[in-house]
A and B are shown apart, each in its own frame.
Chain A
Amino acid sequence: MRRDAFPALDGDLCYLDTAASALKPKVVADATYQFELSDYANVHRSAYKLGYKASVAFDKARETCAHFIGANPERFVWVGGATAGINLIAHGFLKPILCKQDNIVLTIQEHHANWLPWWDVAKASGASVRVVPVGEDGVITVEDVLQYVDKNTKMVAISHVSNITGQVQPIKALCQKLPEHVYCCVDGAQAVAHIDVDVNDLGCDFYVASAHKMYGPSGIGFVAVSKRCFSLCHPYQTGGGMVLSVGHGEVVFQDGPVGLEAGTPHITGAIGLAAACDWLREIGLSAIRAHELRLTDIALSCLRESFKNIKIFGHSQGDQTGVISFEMHGIHPHDIATILDEHQVAMRAGHHCAMPLMRHWQVPALTRLSFGIYNDQKDIDKMLQGLQRVVEIFGTHHADN
């Protein structure tokens, strides 16, 4: 679709690992390069013109990125990435109000980033964690989650799109059904560059994502916070840039998102993500979605037709994105990935930071392909050729000693 916008793809590389991190288009690299070279200075603290100009660009980047997901820039907080964002919510929002009798509801398919911080705060306050199981179809219904929610539930944390199956979870319907006393945190890391996201429409309290999965720079992400929760958020880290006044022990934090952002922010990262958001908007999320769905359908039918020993997880009902995880009977994903690499095909093998799900499904690891804006039919063909080679190599040896 836009392969020519990515200098990394000038050669033969077939990159099918966008779910881990997206490659960078030249337009994003140029924006960050230009900003660093000509417009860079620290923000919100300098009296000189260069600092003012950088601050304006930084503030504009916040607006652009917030609007990209329908969020209010006044409640759109820069963080180091989705992981840092969830830690901010767990420690800065939930922990101070979490009591021993409370519970947190997670699903078994969560990425470790949307799993470990909740267990941390639950352990610290003696609260319990309830885990919604997920079958091999990857489907979670609103009713599945609600079964685990009761009067003591403080938080439901769920990914918008699974990083294993690409299943799009029914966030809007869930938020409509959750009782008023339950907060909802949505991990949007796998969603934001692939489906149109409007956090107001979803109705969640927190929505987090990482720039590097959105064709932006690594090391920056965001948390969009609902109106009812924003004033209840406390800084998870404290330091420069976020305060109105500081004394011996007492501190008054600034209003707005800056009050939750300690230290000099990743200024260039914000500029880069804004460039990525502008670029994605220009292409259009619906066009991207259609492109990736078409490739997903082709890949699924080719994989199912070509390989008898393959088992695909998910992709049975409901909506999915272009993430497909599978196992080939008797062949370890790591061996598959090495042979694919020889064919210039970059694909992920392993537990995908979802060990609880791997254990639940009783698989040691999975091979995953994930589509991005730059992929096309040729990538699928190359992957299939690579997988044929895997079968040849592993099929030629028959040991039974």
Chain B
Amino acid sequence: MQTIELYQALIMDHSRSKKYRGCCDPTTHAKDGHNPMCGDHIKLTAQIVDDKIKHVRFEGEGCAISMASASLMCEALEGLTVAEAQTVFKDVHALLTSDDQTKDLGKLSALENVKSFPMRVKCATLAWHTLQAAITNNQNEVSTE
């Protein structure tokens, strides 16, 4: 696969989008995540009311893949219940790491090409791991290593 397919328009647009950047106000869940290999850092906040994800926002610095993945995640999870979000998390994880994922994940399917660049999978999963830890109130610092 060529890199132009990795950096398709949807990924590039989301990597530069400011729509989901920032902090939720009020914030009910928060977590920091790191990718030690490249120094990517993400600060994730969520507003979850009555088991429903109202907003997810992120701040941080990272490559186009990690920023796009975070932005796509914020968009995809708004309005879902926590249980529904967990299902999406599993589906995206499968999309990035196995060949068995056949579900149509809509815009999130744009992340599928990352699978062909194994060194970059951790960039794409950073936001998802961080959110997972925020939701489950995992006290440990999130790291993709």
Taking Cβ atoms with an 8 Å cutoff, the residues of A that contact B are: 332-335, 338-339, 342, 349-351, 355, 358, 364-365, 389, 393-394, 397, 399-401
Contact between chains at A393 and B9 (CB < 8 Å): no
Assembled-state Cα–Cα distance A397/B65 (Å): 14
| A339 CB contact (under 8 Å) in B3, B19, B40 | B3
Contact between chains at B39 and A364 (CB < 8 Å): yes
Contact between chains at B119 and A338 (CB < 8 Å): yes
Contact between chains at B2 and A342 (CB < 8 Å): yes
Contact between chains at A399 and B12 (CB < 8 Å): yes
Select from chain A the residue with minimum beta-carbon distance to B9. Answer: A397
Interface 1/0 per residue, B13-26 and A, CB below 8 Å: 11111110000000
Assembled-state Cα–Cα distance A358/B117 (Å): 26
Residues in B with CB closer than 8 Å to A397 are 7, 9, 12-13, 16
Contact between chains at B63 and A393 (CB < 8 Å): no
Residues in A with CB closer than 8 Å to B120 are 334, 338
Assembled-state Cα–Cα distance A235/B61 (Å): 42
Assembled-state Cα–Cα distance A339/B17 (Å): 22
Contact between chains at B38 and A365 (CB < 8 Å): yes
Select from chain A the residue with minimum beta-carbon distance to B16. Answer: A399
Assembled-state Cα–Cα distance A93/B37 (Å): 32
9 tightest CB-CB pairs across the interface, nearest first? Answer: A397-B12, A334-B63, A332-B63, A364-B61, A399-B13, A351-B39, A399-B16, A350-B38, A334-B38
Assembled-state Cα–Cα distance A334/B41 (Å): 13
Contact between chains at A349 and B3 (CB < 8 Å): no
Contact between chains at B38 and A349 (CB < 8 Å): yes
Shortest distance from the beta carbon of A52 to any chain B beta carbon, whole Å: 45
| B6 CB contact (under 8 Å) in A332, A338, A401 | A338
Taking Cβ atoms with an 8 Å cutoff, the residues of B that contact A are: 2-4, 6-7, 9, 12-19, 37-41, 61-65, 117, 119-120, 123
Shortest distance from the beta carbon of B130 to any chain A beta carbon, whole Å: 17
Select from chain A the residue with minimum beta-carbon distance to B18. Answer: A401
Assembled-state Cα–Cα distance A401/B117 (Å): 27
Q: Which of A332, A358, A364, A401 has the largest count of B CB atoms less than 10 A from its CB?
A: A332
Contact between chains at A350 and B37 (CB < 8 Å): yes
Assembled-state Cα–Cα distance A132/B13 (Å): 41
Select from chain B the residue with minimum beta-carbon distance to A332. Answer: B63
Contact between chains at B62 and A393 (CB < 8 Å): no
Contact between chains at A335 and B63 (CB < 8 Å): yes
Assembled-state Cα–Cα distance A397/B14 (Å): 11
Contact between chains at A399 and B17 (CB < 8 Å): yes
| A338 CB contact (under 8 Å) in B3, B39, B61 | B3
Shortest distance from the beta carbon of A19 to any chain B beta carbon, whole Å: 17
Residues in A with CB closer than 8 Å to B18 are 401
Contact between chains at A400 and B38 (CB < 8 Å): no
Between A and B, 22 residue pairs with Cβ closer than 8 Å are A332-B62, A332-B63, A332-B64, A334-B40, A334-B62, A334-B65, A335-B63, A335-B65, A338-B3, A338-B120, A342-B2, A350-B37, A350-B38, A355-B39, A358-B39, A364-B62, A365-B38, A365-B39, A397-B16, A399-B13, A400-B16, A401-B18
Residues in A with CB closer than 8 Å to B2 are 342
Beyond A389-B3, A394-B7, list 20 extra A-B contacts (CB 8 Å).
A332-B63, A332-B64, A334-B40, A334-B62, A335-B64, A338-B3, A338-B6, A338-B120, A339-B3, A342-B2, A351-B38, A351-B39, A358-B39, A364-B41, A394-B12, A397-B7, A397-B9, A399-B12, A399-B14, A401-B13
Q: With A338-B120, A364-B62, A399-B13 given, is the CB distance from A393 to B38 under 8 Å?
A: no
